[in-house]
């Protein structure tokens, strides 16, 4: 494993881009753009995985790069776009916090994430360990996206972005999980999206909208 500072720098810049995209997703109100951002995030993840695979010569990283490309850049965004068109949800303007407020909370979350990642980076022996903080930040920002959004579709995008963060964390700390686990996780994500597709149509059939405000009647006293 020859030290190649250039490639390492490249991976680190890709990591920074991932973080930037997370912030963009946090602010974005157009659902279609949100899905596109998710696809770009997937593409960056795929590029980072490829670079690492080339640098470390670990063949299973090529497989997971291919998985990322297939699933997160092509299949899932395509499925989501189709759903958006069929269901006609284009905007998610009604958030819990306004954009600047969300951004400020997001900044705090990033600081917290780097603190959280400290012991993990100290333990990891990979060259990319400095990126672990970014991975944790991506996970937490995606979580924040899910909390602040009302539309089911944006929550799902947040969920998938969280998955991206987890994947990036595993990659930068250990050069990826064992193959069998990665395949299983990918399968679960795919099935989850299919279930969701079915589910969205059921919600729409009932409520004529994908606004989660309708899903607010099961309170404690009922």
Partner 1 sequence: MEFAVLLGTPLIGALVFAVGGAGRRAPEANAACSLITFAAAVALAVRIVAGGSLTVAHEQFFIDPFNVFLVALTAFVGFTTSLFSRPYMRVEMKHGRISAGRLRLYHSMYQLFIATMLIALTTNNLGLLWVAMEAATLSTVLLVTLYRTPASLEAGWKYFILCGVGIAQALFGTILLYIAAEKVLGADGVSALLWTHLNAVKGQLEPRVLSLAFVFLLVGYGTKVGLAPLHNWLPDAHAEGPTPISAVLSGLLLNVAIYAVVRCKVLIEGSLHSSLPSRMLMGFGLLSVSLAAFLLWRQRDIKRLFAYSSIEHMGIIAFAFGMGGAVANFAALLHMTVHSLTKSAIFFAAGHAVQKSGTQVMDRIRGLMTVSPTVGWGLMLGSLAILGMPPFGVFASEFLIVTTAMRDQPWATPILLLALGVAFAAIFGRVQSMVFGETTARRLPHSPALLPVFVHLAIVLMLGLFIPPYLAGWYRAAARLIGGG
CB of 13 vs partner 1, minimal distance in Å: 23
Q: How far is CA 41 from the centre of its chain?
A: 7
Residue nearer to partner 1 on the CB measure, 36 or 209: 209
Please report how close the Cβ of residue 100 comes to partner 1 at its closest, in angstroms. Answer: 25
- Compute CA 47 distance to the chain's CA centroid, rounded to the nearest angstrom: 15
Helices H / strands E in the chain, number of each: 8, 0
Shortest Å distance, C-beta 188 to partner 1: 5
Instruction: Decide whether 29 or 58 has the Cβ nearer to partner 1.
Output: 58
37: Cβ–Cβ under 8 A, 6 or more apart, which residues? 21, 24, 25, 28
Name the residues that contact partner 1, by CB under 8 A. 60, 116, 119-120, 123-125, 139, 143, 146, 152, 155, 159, 162-163, 166, 169-170, 173-181, 184-185, 187-188, 191-192, 195-196, 198-199, 202-203, 205-207, 212, 214-218, 220-222
Q: Which residues, in sequence order, are bridge partners of residue 211?
A: 151
Q: How far is Cα 24 from Cα 221, in angstroms, rounded to an integer?
A: 39
Q: Minimum distance between the CB of residue 15 and partner 1, rounded to whole angstroms?
A: 16
């Amino acid at each position: 494993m020859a030290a190649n500072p250039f490639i390492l720098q490249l991976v680190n810049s890709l990591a920074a881009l991932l973080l930037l995209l997370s912030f963009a997703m946090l602010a974005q109100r157009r659902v279609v753009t949100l899905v596109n951002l998710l696809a770009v995030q997937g593409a960056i993840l795929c590029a980072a995985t490829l670079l690492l695979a080339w640098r470390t010569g670990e063949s299973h990283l090529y497989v997971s790069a291919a998985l990322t490309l297939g699933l997160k850049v092509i299949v899932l965004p395509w499925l989501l776009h189709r759903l958006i068109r069929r269901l006609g949800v284009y905007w998610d303007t009604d958030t819990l916090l306004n954009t600047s407020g969300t951004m400020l909370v997001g900044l705090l979350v990033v600081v917290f994430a780097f603190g959280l990642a400290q012991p993990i980076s100290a333990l990891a022996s990979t060259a990319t360990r400095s990126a672990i903080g970014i991975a944790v930040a991506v996970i937490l920002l995606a979580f924040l996206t899910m909390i602040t959004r009302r539309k089911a579709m944006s929550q799902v995008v947040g969920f998938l972005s969280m998955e991206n963060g987890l994947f990036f964390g595993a990659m930068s700390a250990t050069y990826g999980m064992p193959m069998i686990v990665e395949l299983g996780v990918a399968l679960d994500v795919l099935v989850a999206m299919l279930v969701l597709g079915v589910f969205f149509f059921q919600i729409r059939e009932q409520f004529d909208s994908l606004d989660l405000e309708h899903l607010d009647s099961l309170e404690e006293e009922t």
